[in-house]
Amino acid sequence: MERIRIGTRGSQLALYQANLVAAFLGNSSRDLQIDIVKIKTTGDKVLDSPLSKIGDKGLFTREIERALLDGEIDCAVHSLKDLPTELPDKLGIIAFSAREDVRDALIAQDGMKLLELPKGSTVATGSLRRRSQLMHLRSDLSLVDIRGNLNTRLRKLEEEGYAGMMLAYAGIKRLGMADKVTEILEPKTMLPAVGQGIIAVEAREGDGKIKELLRGFNSDESETAALAERAFLRKLEGGCQVPIGVYTSLKDKNLSGMVASLDGETLVKESVPLKLNDPENSGKNLADKLLSLGADRILEEIRSASA
């Protein structure tokens, strides 16, 4: 019996995602022994600082990728939004899952919606992208950083008395806690993160066996969206320290993106047609359009401030 070792972070959501891949592999072949290997990443170890303050790319993936390169695991399962657009040599994404709901969600006290929150309300989020868009929409809110898994965040919401918190709806849904959501924000209001809602499987290049086993796990629609969005981010050279959002509408064949200043005061947003046969070029075109509209100055100011 062949053994397949799946590397993942140890959070409840990460394990849920890894088990989805394990279940698919188990259903595709009875001759496999599938082991899930939990690996602690830098982002898991440092919980008392905002993500933007402890580094940039690979916070939740670097240690897992090292294990993959060293042959300690056979594939890695990630939330695609955690994966940098430039992968280490000899590694590649071999499968993109069907995309879960791409939108962001608000969990608020008293069931309130974003526009109903009283002036001066405190809202928690661990994302610069959400923070900037929130400040652009509601400059009267007080925003605080929040880290940890969903249960930890829910506990902090109660203990700290925050009016609400913002996070990705996909994770809440996957963990069966959608009933706690008080509002789901449409992309026209809050553009999601690159790759949000997609699970990515990473493996060593040339490992045709694992790629073949996961062929049916891959979603062509998710792959198209992922290629467009990651090309957009790559051209902008963005990471955790830059507020960048993007949304792919396969139905409308449209790609929308935004770049915002850290305080949310300046926000540049634009859309371009999505070419299904060349999604990466569509992503680059969107990035070029935003850069020409002033995103270059926003990005330069952010990088200068963090240098």
> Looking at the structure, do residues 111 and 168 belong to the same domain, yes or no?
yes
Assess if residue 192 is contained within a domain.
no
> Looking at the structure, do residues 112 and 243 belong to the same domain, yes or no?
no
- CATH classification of the domain holding 255: 3.30.160.40
Sequence-distant (≥ 6) Cβ neighbours of residue 167 within 8 angstroms? 104, 105, 107, 125, 126, 127, 130, 150, 153
**Are 229 and 246 in contact, with CB atoms under 8 Å apart?**
yes
> Looking at the structure, do residues 76 and 211 belong to the same domain, yes or no?
yes
Structure token digits, residue 302: 């952010």
Q: How far apart are CA 160 and CA 142, in angstroms?
A: 13
> Looking at the structure, do residues 232 and 269 belong to the same domain, yes or no?
yes
**Are 77 and 37 in contact, with CB atoms under 8 Å apart?**
no
Domain final residue, candidates 162, 185, 208: 185
What pLDDT is stored for residue 59 in this prediction?
82
How many C-alpha atoms does 112 have within 13 Å on its Cβ side? 17
Assess if residue 255 is contained within a domain.
yes
What pLDDT is stored for residue 49 in this prediction?
56
**Are 167 and 154 in contact, with CB atoms under 8 Å apart?**
no
Bridging pattern class, strands 183-185 and 2-8? unpaired
**Are 211 and 137 in contact, with CB atoms under 8 Å apart?**
no
> Looking at the structure, do residues 179 and 206 belong to the same domain, yes or no?
no
What pLDDT is stored for residue 52 in this prediction?
55
> Looking at the structure, do residues 79 and 214 belong to the same domain, yes or no?
yes
The tally of domains found in the chain comes to 3
> Looking at the structure, do residues 2 and 87 belong to the same domain, yes or no?
yes
> Looking at the structure, do residues 279 and 208 belong to the same domain, yes or no?
no
Assess if residue 145 is contained within a domain.
yes
Structural domain boundaries enclosing 75: 1-97+198-218
- Residue that has been written with the tokens 């969990």 in this structure: 107
**Are 167 and 104 in contact, with CB atoms under 8 Å apart?**
yes
> Looking at the structure, do residues 109 and 65 belong to the same domain, yes or no?
no
- CATH classification of the domain holding 32: 3.40.190.10
Q: Is 296 helix (H, G, I), strand (E, B) or coil?
A: helix
> Looking at the structure, do residues 213 and 223 belong to the same domain, yes or no?
no
> Looking at the structure, do residues 145 and 214 belong to the same domain, yes or no?
no
> Looking at the structure, do residues 75 and 126 belong to the same domain, yes or no?
no
Print burial letters for 192-222: b (CB count within 10 Å at least 16), e (below 16): bbbbbbbbbbbbbeebeebbebbeebbbeeb
Structure token digits, residue 288: 């070029």
Q: At what angle do helices 220-236 and 279-290 cross, to 10 degrees?
A: 30
Assess if residue 112 is contained within a domain.
yes
Catalytic residues: 82
What pTM does this model have?
0.93
Sequence-distant (≥ 6) Cβ neighbours of residue 31 within 8 angstroms? 1, 2
Q: How far apart are CA 132 and CA 130, in angstroms?
A: 6
Assess if residue 126 is contained within a domain.
yes
C-alpha dist (Å) from residue 19 to 43, 77, 240: 21, 9, 27
Q: How far apart are CA 189 and CA 6, in angstroms?
A: 37
Assess if residue 48 is contained within a domain.
yes
Assess if residue 243 is contained within a domain.
yes
Assess if residue 19 is contained within a domain.
yes
pLDDT in tens, the chain (307 residues): 799 999 999 999 999 999 999 999 999 877 899 999 999 998 777 655 555 555 556 888 999 999 999 999 999 999 999 999 999 999 999 999 999 999 999 999 889 999 999 999 999 998 999 999 999 999 999 999 998 888 889 999 989 999 999 999 999 999 999 999 999 999 999 999 999 999 999 999 988 899 999 999 999 999 999 999 999 999 998 665 789 999 999 999 999 999 999 999 999 999 999 999 999 999 999 999 999 999 999 999 988 887 6
